Amino acid sequence: MLTIENVYKSFQGNMVLKDITLAIEGGSILGLAGPSGEGKSTLLRCIQGLENIDSGKIVCGGRIGFMFQDFQLFPHMSVLQNVVYAGKFQPRERRATLLRRAEELLERLGVWNLCDRYPDRLSGGQKQRVALARTLMLEPEVLLCDEPTSGLDMAATADVAELLRSICAKRTVVAIASHDMSFLTKVADRIVLLRHGTIAADIALDQFPNLPKLAVSFFEE
Amino acid sequence: MEITVKPIDAVIFVGTGLSISFRLLLGGLSVGLFLGLTLAILRHNGIGRRPIAHYVSLLRGTPVLLQLSLIYFAIPGILGVRLSVLSAGIITFGLNSSAYMSEIFRSGIEGLPRGQFEAAQTLGIPRFFIWKDIILPQVFTAILPALTGEVIALLKETALIATIGGADIMRKSQVLAAEQFTYFMPLCIAGFYYYFIVLFVESLSRRLERRLRRAHH
Ligand SMILES: Nc1ncnc2c1ncn2[C@@H]1O[C@H](COP(=O)(O)OP(=O)(O)O)[C@@H](O)[C@H]1O
Ligand SMILES: [Mg+2]
Protein backbone atom coordinates (compact mmCIF):
# COMPACT_ATOMS: atom_id res chain seq x y z
CA MET A 1 0.00 0.00 0.00
CA LEU A 2 1.33 3.37 -1.04
CA THR A 3 -0.44 6.63 -0.38
CA ILE A 4 0.37 10.03 -1.73
CA GLU A 5 -1.45 13.02 -0.26
CA ASN A 6 -1.53 16.56 -1.59
CA VAL A 7 2.01 16.41 -2.88
CA TYR A 8 3.54 19.54 -4.41
CA LYS A 9 6.92 19.66 -6.06
CA SER A 10 8.66 22.47 -7.88
CA PHE A 11 12.11 23.04 -9.38
CA GLN A 12 13.34 26.61 -9.02
CA GLY A 13 9.83 27.98 -8.99
CA ASN A 14 8.68 25.74 -11.84
CA MET A 15 5.75 23.82 -10.36
CA VAL A 16 5.94 20.25 -11.67
CA LEU A 17 3.53 18.40 -9.38
CA LYS A 18 0.42 20.16 -8.09
CA ASP A 19 -1.63 18.62 -5.35
CA ILE A 20 -1.19 14.97 -6.29
CA THR A 21 -3.29 12.57 -4.24
CA LEU A 22 -3.16 8.89 -5.02
CA ALA A 23 -3.47 5.54 -3.24
CA ILE A 24 -2.09 2.35 -4.74
CA GLU A 25 -3.03 -1.12 -3.51
CA GLY A 26 -0.62 -4.00 -3.28
CA GLY A 27 -0.93 -6.63 -5.98
CA SER A 28 -1.91 -4.16 -8.66
CA ILE A 29 0.01 -2.36 -11.34
CA LEU A 30 -0.43 1.35 -11.74
CA GLY A 31 0.49 2.96 -15.02
CA LEU A 32 1.56 6.59 -14.86
CA ALA A 33 0.83 7.99 -18.26
CA GLY A 34 1.33 11.33 -19.92
CA PRO A 35 3.52 12.97 -22.52
CA SER A 36 7.15 13.79 -21.81
CA GLY A 37 7.86 16.52 -19.30
CA GLU A 38 4.59 16.15 -17.39
CA GLY A 39 6.24 15.02 -14.15
CA LYS A 40 6.03 11.20 -14.27
CA SER A 41 9.68 10.68 -13.40
CA THR A 42 9.53 13.42 -10.81
CA LEU A 43 6.62 11.73 -9.05
CA LEU A 44 8.46 8.39 -8.93
CA ARG A 45 11.61 10.12 -7.69
CA CYS A 46 9.62 11.85 -4.96
CA ILE A 47 8.18 8.51 -3.84
CA GLN A 48 11.66 7.00 -3.75
CA GLY A 49 13.00 10.00 -1.85
CA LEU A 50 15.45 11.03 -4.55
CA GLU A 51 13.70 14.41 -4.56
CA ASN A 52 12.37 16.35 -1.60
CA ILE A 53 8.74 17.35 -1.92
CA ASP A 54 7.66 20.94 -1.21
CA SER A 55 4.63 19.86 0.79
CA GLY A 56 2.25 16.96 1.22
CA LYS A 57 2.78 13.44 2.46
CA ILE A 58 3.98 10.17 1.02
CA VAL A 59 3.41 7.07 3.11
CA CYS A 60 4.92 3.84 1.99
CA GLY A 61 4.52 0.50 3.68
CA GLY A 62 7.97 -0.90 3.07
CA ARG A 63 11.13 -1.11 1.03
CA ILE A 64 11.07 0.57 -2.35
CA GLY A 65 12.81 -0.71 -5.42
CA PHE A 66 13.55 1.69 -8.25
CA MET A 67 14.21 0.86 -11.88
CA PHE A 68 15.97 3.68 -13.69
CA GLN A 69 15.13 4.57 -17.25
CA ASP A 70 18.73 3.97 -18.32
CA PHE A 71 19.16 1.03 -15.92
CA GLN A 72 22.26 2.46 -14.26
CA LEU A 73 23.97 -0.88 -13.99
CA PHE A 74 27.45 -0.59 -12.50
CA PRO A 75 29.75 -0.87 -15.53
CA HIS A 76 32.76 -2.14 -13.60
CA MET A 77 30.88 -5.08 -12.12
CA SER A 78 29.74 -8.29 -13.80
CA VAL A 79 26.05 -9.13 -14.01
CA LEU A 80 26.26 -11.30 -10.91
CA GLN A 81 28.22 -8.68 -8.95
CA ASN A 82 25.67 -6.06 -9.96
CA VAL A 83 22.90 -8.22 -8.58
CA VAL A 84 24.47 -9.38 -5.33
CA TYR A 85 26.66 -6.43 -4.32
CA ALA A 86 24.07 -4.47 -2.32
CA GLY A 87 23.12 -7.66 -0.50
CA LYS A 88 26.19 -7.23 1.71
CA PHE A 89 24.29 -4.52 3.53
CA GLN A 90 21.08 -6.43 4.08
CA PRO A 91 20.13 -8.11 7.36
CA ARG A 92 22.04 -11.25 8.23
CA GLU A 93 19.24 -13.74 7.51
CA ARG A 94 18.87 -12.41 3.98
CA ARG A 95 22.62 -12.36 3.41
CA ALA A 96 22.86 -16.10 3.90
CA THR A 97 20.71 -16.85 0.85
CA LEU A 98 22.10 -14.10 -1.35
CA LEU A 99 23.69 -16.21 -4.07
CA ARG A 100 20.88 -18.66 -4.22
CA ARG A 101 18.30 -15.91 -4.60
CA ALA A 102 20.42 -14.16 -7.24
CA GLU A 103 20.68 -17.36 -9.23
CA GLU A 104 16.98 -18.00 -8.88
CA LEU A 105 16.06 -14.51 -10.06
CA LEU A 106 18.50 -14.41 -12.95
CA GLU A 107 17.32 -17.85 -13.97
CA ARG A 108 13.70 -16.77 -13.88
CA LEU A 109 14.51 -13.67 -15.90
CA GLY A 110 16.43 -15.79 -18.39
CA VAL A 111 19.83 -14.16 -17.96
CA TRP A 112 21.65 -16.55 -15.62
CA ASN A 113 23.86 -17.62 -18.53
CA LEU A 114 25.13 -14.03 -18.73
CA CYS A 115 26.16 -13.80 -15.09
CA ASP A 116 29.87 -13.30 -15.84
CA ARG A 117 29.34 -10.65 -18.49
CA TYR A 118 29.89 -6.94 -18.04
CA PRO A 119 27.02 -4.55 -18.76
CA ASP A 120 28.53 -3.04 -21.89
CA ARG A 121 28.17 -6.42 -23.56
CA LEU A 122 24.45 -6.74 -22.90
CA SER A 123 21.55 -5.78 -25.13
CA GLY A 124 18.95 -3.30 -23.90
CA GLY A 125 16.53 -6.06 -22.99
CA GLN A 126 19.21 -8.00 -21.11
CA LYS A 127 20.24 -4.89 -19.19
CA GLN A 128 16.62 -4.37 -18.30
CA ARG A 129 16.38 -7.87 -16.84
CA VAL A 130 19.60 -7.55 -14.90
CA ALA A 131 18.45 -4.21 -13.50
CA LEU A 132 15.15 -5.80 -12.57
CA ALA A 133 16.91 -8.70 -10.85
CA ARG A 134 19.14 -6.27 -8.98
CA THR A 135 16.12 -4.35 -7.75
CA LEU A 136 14.13 -7.47 -6.86
CA MET A 137 17.01 -8.71 -4.70
CA LEU A 138 15.84 -6.07 -2.21
CA GLU A 139 12.48 -7.85 -2.05
CA PRO A 140 10.74 -4.51 -2.35
CA GLU A 141 7.14 -4.02 -1.30
CA VAL A 142 6.91 -1.15 -3.77
CA LEU A 143 8.48 -1.33 -7.22
CA LEU A 144 8.85 1.87 -9.22
CA CYS A 145 9.78 1.62 -12.90
CA ASP A 146 10.67 4.68 -14.94
CA GLU A 147 10.12 4.18 -18.67
CA PRO A 148 10.92 0.48 -18.58
CA THR A 149 10.48 0.07 -22.32
CA SER A 150 12.63 2.92 -23.56
CA GLY A 151 15.14 1.60 -26.01
CA LEU A 152 13.47 -1.79 -26.29
CA ASP A 153 12.00 -3.29 -29.43
CA MET A 154 8.43 -4.62 -29.63
CA ALA A 155 9.25 -8.17 -28.56
CA ALA A 156 11.34 -7.04 -25.63
CA THR A 157 8.59 -4.64 -24.62
CA ALA A 158 6.06 -7.48 -24.56
CA ASP A 159 8.49 -9.49 -22.42
CA VAL A 160 8.82 -6.67 -19.94
CA ALA A 161 5.05 -6.44 -19.64
CA GLU A 162 4.92 -10.17 -18.96
CA LEU A 163 7.71 -10.00 -16.39
CA LEU A 164 6.20 -7.12 -14.48
CA ARG A 165 2.84 -8.86 -14.40
CA SER A 166 4.35 -12.03 -13.00
CA ILE A 167 6.18 -10.13 -10.26
CA CYS A 168 3.03 -8.39 -9.33
CA ALA A 169 1.22 -11.66 -8.74
CA LYS A 170 2.30 -11.20 -5.11
CA ARG A 171 1.41 -8.29 -2.87
CA THR A 172 3.85 -5.86 -4.40
CA VAL A 173 2.77 -2.38 -5.34
CA VAL A 174 4.04 -1.65 -8.84
CA ALA A 175 4.02 1.81 -10.40
CA ILE A 176 5.22 2.22 -13.97
CA ALA A 177 5.83 5.57 -15.60
CA SER A 178 5.71 5.50 -19.37
CA HIS A 179 4.78 7.71 -22.26
CA ASP A 180 3.92 4.55 -24.20
CA MET A 181 0.19 4.23 -23.75
CA SER A 182 -0.23 0.98 -25.62
CA PHE A 183 2.42 -0.65 -23.39
CA LEU A 184 0.69 0.65 -20.26
CA THR A 185 -2.68 -0.67 -21.33
CA LYS A 186 -1.11 -4.11 -21.73
CA VAL A 187 0.58 -4.16 -18.37
CA ALA A 188 -1.40 -1.98 -15.97
CA ASP A 189 -4.59 -2.55 -13.99
CA ARG A 190 -5.14 1.13 -13.62
CA ILE A 191 -3.89 4.17 -15.46
CA VAL A 192 -3.34 7.60 -14.03
CA LEU A 193 -2.85 10.31 -16.58
CA LEU A 194 -0.66 13.25 -15.60
CA ARG A 195 -1.27 16.55 -17.38
CA HIS A 196 0.20 19.88 -16.34
CA GLY A 197 1.26 18.49 -13.00
CA THR A 198 -2.15 17.23 -11.94
CA ILE A 199 -4.05 13.98 -12.32
CA ALA A 200 -6.18 14.46 -15.40
CA ALA A 201 -7.69 10.97 -15.38
CA ASP A 202 -7.65 7.91 -13.16
CA ILE A 203 -9.04 4.83 -14.83
CA ALA A 204 -9.40 1.21 -13.77
CA LEU A 205 -8.75 -0.73 -16.94
CA ASP A 206 -11.11 -3.63 -16.31
CA GLN A 207 -13.98 -1.16 -16.43
CA PHE A 208 -12.85 0.38 -19.67
CA PRO A 209 -11.91 -2.30 -22.12
CA ASN A 210 -11.86 0.30 -24.90
CA LEU A 211 -9.40 2.54 -23.17
CA PRO A 212 -6.43 1.65 -25.33
CA LYS A 213 -8.12 3.01 -28.42
CA LEU A 214 -9.48 6.03 -26.61
CA ALA A 215 -6.17 6.83 -25.00
CA VAL A 216 -4.22 6.54 -28.19
CA SER A 217 -6.60 8.92 -29.91
CA PHE A 218 -6.36 11.24 -26.89
CA PHE A 219 -2.63 11.51 -27.38
CA GLU A 220 -2.99 12.11 -31.04
CA GLU A 221 -5.53 14.85 -30.21
CA MET B 1 89.45 20.99 -18.51
CA GLU B 2 89.68 17.22 -18.44
CA ILE B 3 87.33 14.48 -17.39
CA THR B 4 88.91 12.40 -14.66
CA VAL B 5 85.95 10.29 -13.64
CA LYS B 6 84.97 7.18 -15.57
CA PRO B 7 81.45 7.33 -17.04
CA ILE B 8 80.36 4.28 -15.05
CA ASP B 9 81.43 5.95 -11.82
CA ALA B 10 79.60 9.10 -12.84
CA VAL B 11 76.43 7.09 -13.46
CA ILE B 12 76.75 5.44 -10.06
CA PHE B 13 77.45 8.76 -8.34
CA VAL B 14 74.40 10.49 -9.81
CA GLY B 15 72.41 7.31 -9.10
CA THR B 16 72.96 7.75 -5.37
CA GLY B 17 70.48 10.63 -5.69
CA LEU B 18 67.75 8.18 -6.71
CA SER B 19 66.84 7.39 -3.13
CA ILE B 20 65.96 11.03 -2.29
CA SER B 21 64.16 11.52 -5.59
CA PHE B 22 62.08 8.38 -5.06
CA ARG B 23 61.24 9.27 -1.50
CA LEU B 24 60.12 12.72 -2.61
CA LEU B 25 58.06 11.24 -5.43
CA LEU B 26 56.37 8.57 -3.33
CA GLY B 27 55.87 10.88 -0.34
CA GLY B 28 54.53 13.71 -2.46
CA LEU B 29 52.34 11.31 -4.38
CA SER B 30 50.83 9.82 -1.22
CA VAL B 31 50.07 13.23 0.26
CA GLY B 32 48.81 14.52 -3.09
CA LEU B 33 46.52 11.56 -3.78
CA PHE B 34 45.08 11.39 -0.28
CA LEU B 35 44.55 15.12 0.11
CA GLY B 36 43.45 15.63 -3.48
CA LEU B 37 40.84 12.90 -3.20
CA THR B 38 39.63 14.14 0.16
CA LEU B 39 39.24 17.68 -1.15
CA ALA B 40 37.40 16.48 -4.26
CA ILE B 41 34.95 14.41 -2.21
CA LEU B 42 34.37 17.24 0.28
CA ARG B 43 33.77 19.63 -2.56
CA HIS B 44 31.39 17.22 -4.26
CA ASN B 45 29.37 17.03 -1.06
CA GLY B 46 29.25 20.81 -0.86
CA ILE B 47 31.55 21.02 2.14
CA GLY B 48 34.07 23.89 2.17
CA ARG B 49 33.59 24.64 -1.50
CA ARG B 50 34.89 28.22 -1.32
CA PRO B 51 38.02 27.63 0.80
CA ILE B 52 38.95 24.58 -1.27
CA ALA B 53 38.60 26.56 -4.50
CA HIS B 54 40.90 29.24 -3.04
CA TYR B 55 43.39 26.62 -1.88
CA VAL B 56 43.54 25.07 -5.34
CA SER B 57 43.79 28.43 -7.05
CA LEU B 58 46.58 29.65 -4.75
CA LEU B 59 48.69 26.51 -5.03
CA ARG B 60 48.35 26.38 -8.77
CA GLY B 61 48.89 30.12 -9.10
CA THR B 62 52.28 30.47 -7.42
CA PRO B 63 55.69 28.96 -8.30
CA VAL B 64 56.52 25.66 -6.63
CA LEU B 65 60.02 27.02 -5.97
CA LEU B 66 58.45 29.82 -3.95
CA GLN B 67 56.24 27.36 -2.05
CA LEU B 68 59.23 25.18 -1.27
CA SER B 69 61.28 28.12 0.03
CA LEU B 70 58.32 29.32 2.06
CA ILE B 71 57.89 25.94 3.72
CA TYR B 72 61.60 25.26 4.23
CA PHE B 73 62.89 28.72 5.21
CA ALA B 74 60.00 30.94 6.24
CA ILE B 75 57.40 28.81 8.03
CA PRO B 76 59.85 27.10 10.44
CA GLY B 77 61.14 30.54 11.42
CA ILE B 78 57.66 31.76 12.23
CA LEU B 79 56.49 28.58 13.99
CA GLY B 80 59.81 27.84 15.63
CA VAL B 81 60.10 24.30 14.29
CA ARG B 82 62.80 22.80 12.14
CA LEU B 83 61.90 20.80 9.06
CA SER B 84 64.28 18.42 7.36
CA VAL B 85 64.88 18.99 3.66
CA LEU B 86 63.06 15.76 2.89
CA SER B 87 59.94 16.59 4.92
CA ALA B 88 59.81 20.12 3.54
CA GLY B 89 59.99 18.61 0.07
CA ILE B 90 57.30 16.01 0.70
CA ILE B 91 54.99 18.60 2.25
CA THR B 92 55.50 21.12 -0.55
CA PHE B 93 55.25 18.71 -3.47
CA GLY B 94 52.39 16.88 -1.77
CA LEU B 95 50.34 20.02 -1.14
CA ASN B 96 51.06 21.39 -4.59
CA SER B 97 50.15 18.13 -6.24
CA SER B 98 46.98 17.81 -4.14
CA ALA B 99 45.68 20.97 -5.80
CA TYR B 100 46.08 19.46 -9.26
CA MET B 101 44.86 16.05 -8.18
CA SER B 102 41.74 17.40 -6.54
CA GLU B 103 40.81 18.99 -9.86
CA ILE B 104 41.50 15.74 -11.71
CA PHE B 105 39.38 13.77 -9.25
CA ARG B 106 36.66 16.39 -9.40
CA SER B 107 36.41 16.19 -13.18
CA GLY B 108 36.27 12.40 -12.91
CA ILE B 109 33.51 12.47 -10.30
CA GLU B 110 31.49 15.04 -12.20
CA GLY B 111 31.89 12.99 -15.35
CA LEU B 112 29.96 10.07 -13.84
CA PRO B 113 26.21 10.01 -14.45
CA ARG B 114 24.30 11.19 -11.38
CA GLY B 115 22.24 8.02 -11.77
CA GLN B 116 25.18 5.93 -10.56
CA PHE B 117 25.01 7.61 -7.16
CA GLU B 118 21.24 7.39 -7.15
CA ALA B 119 21.10 3.74 -8.17
CA ALA B 120 23.55 2.85 -5.40
CA GLN B 121 21.52 4.90 -2.94
CA THR B 122 18.23 3.23 -3.86
CA LEU B 123 19.88 -0.16 -3.36
CA GLY B 124 20.59 0.78 0.23
CA ILE B 125 24.37 0.86 -0.10
CA PRO B 126 25.94 2.95 2.68
CA ARG B 127 27.69 6.19 1.64
CA PHE B 128 31.20 5.02 2.37
CA PHE B 129 30.76 1.93 0.20
CA ILE B 130 29.09 3.89 -2.59
CA TRP B 131 32.32 5.88 -2.84
CA LYS B 132 34.67 2.99 -2.30
CA ASP B 133 33.09 0.32 -4.48
CA ILE B 134 30.86 2.13 -6.99
CA ILE B 135 32.15 5.63 -7.65
CA LEU B 136 35.91 5.61 -7.15
CA PRO B 137 36.74 2.50 -9.21
CA GLN B 138 34.98 4.10 -12.18
CA VAL B 139 36.53 7.49 -11.54
CA PHE B 140 39.97 5.98 -11.22
CA THR B 141 39.72 4.21 -14.57
CA ALA B 142 38.53 7.38 -16.24
CA ILE B 143 41.23 9.67 -14.85
CA LEU B 144 44.19 7.30 -15.00
CA PRO B 145 45.78 9.09 -17.99
CA ALA B 146 45.45 12.50 -16.33
CA LEU B 147 46.75 11.08 -13.08
CA THR B 148 49.77 9.65 -14.86
CA GLY B 149 50.52 13.08 -16.28
CA GLU B 150 50.41 14.52 -12.78
CA VAL B 151 52.77 11.84 -11.43
CA ILE B 152 55.26 12.69 -14.16
CA ALA B 153 54.95 16.41 -13.45
CA LEU B 154 55.51 15.69 -9.77
CA LEU B 155 58.65 13.68 -10.47
CA LYS B 156 60.14 16.50 -12.51
CA GLU B 157 59.25 19.02 -9.81
CA THR B 158 61.18 17.07 -7.20
CA ALA B 159 64.35 18.33 -8.92
CA LEU B 160 63.67 21.63 -7.17
CA ILE B 161 64.77 20.00 -3.91
CA ALA B 162 68.33 20.69 -5.07
CA THR B 163 67.73 24.37 -4.38
CA ILE B 164 67.46 23.71 -0.65
CA GLY B 165 70.29 21.20 -0.62
CA GLY B 166 68.43 17.89 -1.00
CA ALA B 167 70.85 15.30 -2.41
CA ASP B 168 68.63 14.06 -5.23
CA ILE B 169 69.54 13.11 -8.80
CA MET B 170 69.66 16.73 -9.88
CA ARG B 171 71.84 17.83 -6.98
CA LYS B 172 74.24 14.94 -7.44
CA SER B 173 74.68 15.82 -11.07
CA GLN B 174 75.41 19.43 -10.12
CA VAL B 175 77.98 18.30 -7.57
CA LEU B 176 79.63 16.12 -10.15
CA ALA B 177 79.57 18.95 -12.65
CA ALA B 178 81.24 21.31 -10.20
CA GLU B 179 83.95 18.78 -9.39
CA GLN B 180 84.62 17.83 -12.96
CA PHE B 181 84.25 21.29 -14.47
CA THR B 182 81.93 19.84 -17.10
CA TYR B 183 78.18 20.05 -17.25
CA PHE B 184 77.30 18.00 -20.24
CA MET B 185 77.81 14.44 -19.05
CA PRO B 186 76.45 14.83 -15.48
CA LEU B 187 73.31 16.59 -16.70
CA CYS B 188 72.75 14.02 -19.43
CA ILE B 189 73.04 11.25 -16.86
CA ALA B 190 70.49 13.01 -14.61
CA GLY B 191 68.22 13.49 -17.61
CA PHE B 192 68.40 9.80 -18.47
CA TYR B 193 67.53 8.84 -14.91
CA TYR B 194 64.43 11.07 -14.92
CA TYR B 195 63.42 9.92 -18.34
CA PHE B 196 63.79 6.24 -17.44
CA ILE B 197 61.57 6.71 -14.42
CA VAL B 198 59.02 8.51 -16.61
CA LEU B 199 59.08 5.67 -19.14
CA PHE B 200 58.58 3.20 -16.31
CA VAL B 201 55.63 5.19 -14.87
CA GLU B 202 54.07 5.41 -18.33
CA SER B 203 54.35 1.71 -19.02
CA LEU B 204 52.96 0.93 -15.58
CA SER B 205 50.03 3.22 -16.26
CA ARG B 206 49.39 1.69 -19.67
CA ARG B 207 49.39 -1.80 -18.22
CA LEU B 208 47.07 -0.78 -15.41
CA GLU B 209 44.74 0.89 -17.89
CA ARG B 210 44.63 -2.19 -20.10
CA ARG B 211 43.87 -4.36 -17.10
CA LEU B 212 41.12 -2.08 -15.84
CA ARG B 213 39.52 -1.81 -19.25
CA ARG B 214 39.72 -5.53 -19.86
CA ALA B 215 38.04 -6.11 -16.55
CA HIS B 216 35.02 -4.14 -17.74
CA HIS B 217 34.50 -5.92 -21.02
N1 LIG C 1 16.35 18.23 -11.45
C2 LIG C 1 15.52 19.05 -12.12
N3 LIG C 1 15.75 20.38 -12.12
C4 LIG C 1 14.92 21.22 -12.78
N5 LIG C 1 13.84 20.84 -13.47
C6 LIG C 1 13.56 19.53 -13.51
C7 LIG C 1 14.38 18.57 -12.84
N8 LIG C 1 13.85 17.34 -13.05
C9 LIG C 1 12.76 17.53 -13.80
N10 LIG C 1 12.57 18.84 -14.08
C11 LIG C 1 11.46 19.41 -14.87
O12 LIG C 1 10.28 18.85 -14.40
C13 LIG C 1 9.38 18.60 -15.46
C14 LIG C 1 8.92 17.16 -15.40
O15 LIG C 1 9.99 16.31 -15.72
P16 LIG C 1 9.88 14.75 -15.64
O17 LIG C 1 9.35 14.37 -14.31
O18 LIG C 1 11.19 14.19 -16.03
O19 LIG C 1 8.81 14.44 -16.75
P20 LIG C 1 8.43 13.06 -17.45
O21 LIG C 1 9.12 11.97 -16.72
O22 LIG C 1 6.95 13.01 -17.37
O23 LIG C 1 8.89 13.17 -18.86
C24 LIG C 1 10.11 18.94 -16.74
O25 LIG C 1 9.66 20.21 -17.17
C26 LIG C 1 11.55 19.01 -16.35
O27 LIG C 1 12.21 19.97 -17.09
MG1 LIG D 1 10.55 10.65 -17.44
Residue A178 CA to ligand 1 centre (angstroms): 14
Q: Which ligand 1 atom is the nearest neighbour of the CA of A12?
A: 4
Q: What is the 3-state secondary structure (H, E, C) of A96-162?
A: CCHHHHHHHHHHHCCCHHHCCCCHHHCCHHHHHHHHHHHHHCCCCCEEEEECCCCCCCHHHHHHHHH
Q: Is residue B209 part of a domain?
A: no
Spell out which residues of chain B touch residue A74, defining contact as CB-CB under 8 Å.
Answer: 116, 119-120, 134, 138
Each residue's pLDDT tens digit, A57-110: 999 888 999 999 999 999 999 999 999 999 999 888 778 889 999 999 999 888
Task: For chain A, give the mean pLDDT.
Answer: 88
Residue A194 CA to ligand 2 centre (angstroms): 12
- pLDDT value of residue B1: 46
pTM of the model: 0.88
Least Cα distance to A9 among A60, A34, A61, A44 occurs for: A44
Q: Is residue B48 part of a domain?
A: yes
Hey, are the CB atoms on B123 and A48 less than 8 Å from each other? no
Dist. CA A70–CA A62, nearest whole Å: 24
Q: Is residue B190 part of a domain?
A: no
Nearest to B125 among A68, A89, A135 (CB): A89
Q: Which ligand 1 atom is the nearest neighbour of the CA of A43?
A: 17
Residue of B nearest to A47 (CA): B122
Q: Is residue B157 part of a domain?
A: yes
Q: Is residue B35 part of a domain?
A: yes
Hey, are the CB atoms on B113 and A72 less than 8 Å from each other? yes
Residue A175 has pLDDT above 80, yes or no: yes
Q: Is residue B133 part of a domain?
A: yes
Q: Is the CB of A45 under 6 A from ligand 1?
A: no
The minimum CA-CA distance between A192 and chain B, rounded to whole Å, is 24
Query: What residues of chain B score a pLDDT lower than 70?
Result: 1-3, 216-217
- pLDDT value of residue B45: 92
- pLDDT value of residue A168: 64
- pLDDT value of residue A221: 45
Nearest to A50 among B116, B118, B133 (CB): B118
Host domain of residue B39: 19-167
**ipTM of the prediction:** 0.89
Each residue's pLDDT tens digit, B72-131: 999 888 888 889 999 999 999 999 999 999 999 999 999 999 999 999 999 999 999 999
Q: Is residue B151 part of a domain?
A: yes
Residue A220 has pLDDT above 60, yes or no: no
How far lies A190's CA from each of A22, A30, A94, in Å? 12, 5, 33
CATH code for the domain in which residue B63 is found: 1.10.3720.10
What share of chain A in percent tops pLDDT 70?
A: 93
Dist. CA B75–CA B122, nearest whole Å: 48
Position A153 confidence tier, pLDDT thresholds 50, 70, 90: confident
- pLDDT value of residue A162: 80
Position A219 confidence tier, pLDDT thresholds 50, 70, 90: low
Ligand 1 atom 7: the closest Cα is on which residue?
A11
Q: Is the CB of A42 under 6 A from ligand 1?
A: yes
Q: Is residue B191 part of a domain?
A: no
- pLDDT value of residue B109: 97
- Between β-strands A198-204 and A14-24, what pairing exists: parallel, antiparallel or unpaired? unpaired
Hey, are the CB atoms on B122 and A66 less than 8 Å from each other? yes
Provide the domain count of chain B: 1
Position A218 confidence tier, pLDDT thresholds 50, 70, 90: low
Position A111 confidence tier, pLDDT thresholds 50, 70, 90: very high
